[in-house]
Amino acid sequence: MHAAAKAFVQRWASTDPVSVVEIGSRDINGEIRHLWPNATWYHGLDLHAGPGVDTVCDACEYTPPRPVHVVVCCEVLEHADNWRGIVLQACSWLRPGGRLIITCAGAGRRPHSAADGGDLRPGEYYGNVLLWELAPLITACDGMRVVVSEYDPQHCDCRLVAERRA
């Protein structure tokens, strides 16, 4: 995760006692778990085992034991051909007042590998995500509203925060 994406997430992180699910939690080039130091429950999901991963799984096939306060998904969606399914699943995990925080590669970002950020490997999926696709998908979810959506042209990043109405 690059520094600008991490700084965006940090703006929305909390020291409150909250429950958090992180999609794509394997620490490849920076982690965010420490941004919720008082989390009562923090659970990291990833397709591959590694540092920061609590459950190895496809996020589309996971359900937390109870609704959570925060779902964070950083620099993952561009690596998932079913990114829409991941977003819909993440919205379904939120409790009333819960927050979804997303950063992902947008228009113009050079394709890169989910394994190490280097060149794409044979057969590896990659597709930049556009805000005009992401925001309407979230607002179509029952009870969800977008709080912030922004595109950073310097880093070719889409960033979005949404909340489930209380």
What is the percentage of the chain residues whose pLDDT exceeds 90? 83
The pLDDT confidence band at residue 148, using thresholds 50, 70 and 90, is very high
pTM: predicted TM-score of the whole model, two decimal places: 0.94
Residue 158 CB contacts under 8 Å (≥ 6 apart), including other chains: 102, 103, 104, 105, 106, 129, 130, 131, 134, 149, 150, 151
Domain assignment of residue 142, given as a range: 3-164
Which residue type sits at 3? A
Per-residue pLDDT averaged across 6-25, rounded? 97
The pLDDT score that the predictor gives to residue 109 is 87
**Cα–Cα distance for residue pair 18/163, rounded to 1 Å:** 14
Alpha helices by DSSP H, listed for the chain, are 3-12, 83-93, 131-139
Read off the pLDDT of residues 68-85 as tens digits, 9 standing for 90 and up: 999 999 999 999 999 999
The single-letter DSSP state of residue 122 is: T
Per the CB < 8 A criterion, the answer to whether 138 and 87 are in contact is yes
Partners of 164 in the β-ladder: 144
CA torsion, points 106, 32, 21, 156, in degrees to nearest 10? 0
52 is written with which tokens? 């920061």
The pLDDT confidence band at residue 87, using thresholds 50, 70 and 90, is very high
Q: How many domains does the chain have?
A: 1
The single-letter DSSP state of residue 116 is: T
The pLDDT score that the predictor gives to residue 131 is 92
Which residue type sits at 161? V
Read off the pLDDT of residues 31-63 as tens digits, 9 standing for 90 and up: 899 999 999 999 999 999 999 999 999 999 999
CATH of the domain at 51: 3.40.50.150
